[in-house]
Amino acid sequence: MAKQAFKGNEFIRKRIVDLKRKPQIVAMIVLGIAFLFYSLNLTQISNTTAKIQGSGMGLAGFSTMLFSMLSLVCFGNAFPHRKKVNIPMLVLMYAMLLIVIFADLYYGSRITAAVTRAENPIDATGNNSYISAASVIVRVHVILVILGGVVTALLPVYSKWIRSINTSIEVEGNDNMGVIGFDDEDN
């Protein structure tokens, strides 16, 4: 496959060059979006925890927030600048992502149990619509975290593809460099 020179906006070319140097930024962005999604919707999670008061719901919400943040720190340490991948940090990051997924699934199961229980079920509509919103938030967060883990695992695959993009700029007038002559009389 022949490489063709990149023809496009200079801003886009510079971003692709940055991406070629640090392809792990794609996975970092996905994990960052997952963290931001959960933390910006924390009000619904907190209100749901206060309303349902299920066993371990507060701990599950706290664990999700804590280990989401720590997994980002581990990700940053797993891919140091211009060095080999730090495998122990990468393993620790995946362990934290598994804890986050488990905590989210547990939290979602507590919501389902409170809404569908036989005696005194909680109505998740009207004034309590934040409960159904929290259930959706937790499910979407699980999907985003899994997506972040998959994108991190596929880093060797798509980094080769990104590096194959030719971002060089063709400069006109450099074709006849051998024609340039130097005269001794100008000295």
Both tokens assigned to 31? 């994990």
**pTM, whole model, 2 decimals?**
0.81
Both tokens assigned to 139? 């499910």
The residues, any chain, with a CB within 8 Å of residue 124's CB and separated by 6 or more, are: 115, 131, 132, 135
What tens digit of pLDDT does each residue of 118-159 get?
A: 888 888 888 889 999 999 999 999 999 999 999 999 998 988
Rounded CA-CA distance 111/59 in Å is 14
- Considering only CA atoms, which of 58, 60, 56, 91 is closest in space to residue 75? 91
Rounded CA-CA distance 169/78 in Å is 33
**pLDDT at residue 38 tops 60:** yes
Residues 72/77/79/81 CA torsion (nearest 10 deg): 120
The domain ranges of the chain are 10-166
Least confident residue range of 38-47, 79-88, 96-105: 79-88
